[in-house]
Amino acid sequence: MPVNIPHNLPAVEILKKENIFVMDNLRAATQDIRPLKVALLNLMPVKIVTETDFVRLLSNSPLQVEVDLIKMKTHESKHTPVEHLATFYKNFDDIRKENYDGMIITGAPVEMLDFEDVNYWEELTEIFDWAAKHVTSTIYICWAAQAGLYHFHGINKYPLGKKKFGVFKHTLNNPGIPLFRGFDNEFYVPHSRHTDIRREDILKVPALSLLSESPEAGVYLVMSRGGREIFITGHSEYAPETLNNEYMRDLAKDLPIEMPVNYYKDNNPEKGICVQWRAHAHLMFKNWLNYYVYQATPFDPKEIEQMREINV
């Protein structure tokens, strides 16, 4: 089944050109199927690019998914047209009484700030606490993963000497869990960040499970409450050209930036991009939807309410 999104969202035409089947909400309304409800809290400045990246991954599943796009009320986005936000996005106040099967919270370019100095921190932590009660499984991406680990478990982030930038090899600490079903022993993931979380800090917290890491990129995937929260430090959702766009942008601004590691063929930008992470990305999100969202979501209303009250 396809992902169900607003019929005139820009992602629709982009993904159709990639031969990805998406269904707009007008057509979906004619089908008698209970779709999975997934909220995407988009903290990135250029929201159209990010929403397209995640819709691309959510569409690669036999399950029908209905996506609600969420933005921060306490932060004004300056890199996405106001008309787009008004047409397609909701504020937290619009959904706070809802329950969702799944939620994705994206990264944000604020990692060099202390968490409490981010101007929407209070609203964001309110959403974190709400998600713990109202969402079956939430994925926190990159900076959001650092923010979630800090908010729930007191895990600090640390500045890196230079930007962690490129595509890195990862391994599995627990290959038997459903999220990793079908994974190879080694797989690749893009990273683009200036801060890090430390392995030893994760291992000190009994509630956290360190499930995947990289010799070069460090901690990759941490889970708590059996998959109710999944913290991912990398960007498996990135489109092939994203790191290249970041690299060229920073070069044009004369910012300190090194060529992304393991990204270009023979480490030569003129030879083009070597995409090594796409299969892993699709498989991970497919497994998440199946095992941690669909199969974990109760359908009895009383069971739903009981689930929201426990383990929080």
In the predicted structure, residue 195 carries a pLDDT above the cut 60: yes
The arithmetic mean of pLDDT across residues 218-241, rounded, is: 97
Alpha-carbon distances of 245 from 129, 256, 274, rounded to whole Å:
34, 15, 15
Instruction: Fill in the DSSP letter of residue 103.
Output: E
* Long-range contacts formed by 151-156: CB under 8 A, 24+ apart: 151/115, 151/125, 152/128, 152/224, 152/229, 153/205, 153/207, 153/208, 153/224, 155/197, 155/201, 155/202, 155/205, 156/197, 156/201
Q: Both tokens of residue 108? A: 């944000």
Q: Which CATH superfamily is domain 3-309 in?
A: Class I glutamine amidotransferase (GATase) domain (3.40.50.880)
- Identify the pLDDT of residue 297: 62
- Identify the pLDDT of residue 298: 53
In the predicted structure, residue 311 carries a pLDDT above the cut 60: no
What does the domain layout of the chain look like in residue ranges? 3-309
Query: Residue 144: enclosing H or E segment and its boundaries?
Result: helix 143-153
In the predicted structure, residue 307 carries a pLDDT above the cut 60: no
Indicate the average pLDDT of the chain: 89
Distance CA 306, CA 83 (A): 39
- Identify the pLDDT of residue 63: 86
- Select which of 142, 191, 213, 229 is catalytic: 142
Confidence of residue 312 (pLDDT cuts 50, 70, 90): very low
- Select which of 134, 170, 191, 235 is catalytic: 235
- Select which of 51, 66, 213, 237 is catalytic: 237
Q: Catalytic site residue 200?
A: no
Contact 107, 79 (CB under 8 A): no
Q: Catalytic site residue 274?
A: no
Q: Catalytic site residue 123?
A: no
Lowest mean pLDDT: which of 50-64, 172-186, 265-279? 50-64
Confidence of residue 301 (pLDDT cuts 50, 70, 90): very low
pLDDT one-digit tens code per residue, 75-118: 888 878 889 999 999 999 999 999 999 999 999 999 999 999 99
pLDDT one-digit tens code per residue, 120-143: 999 999 999 999 999 999 999 999
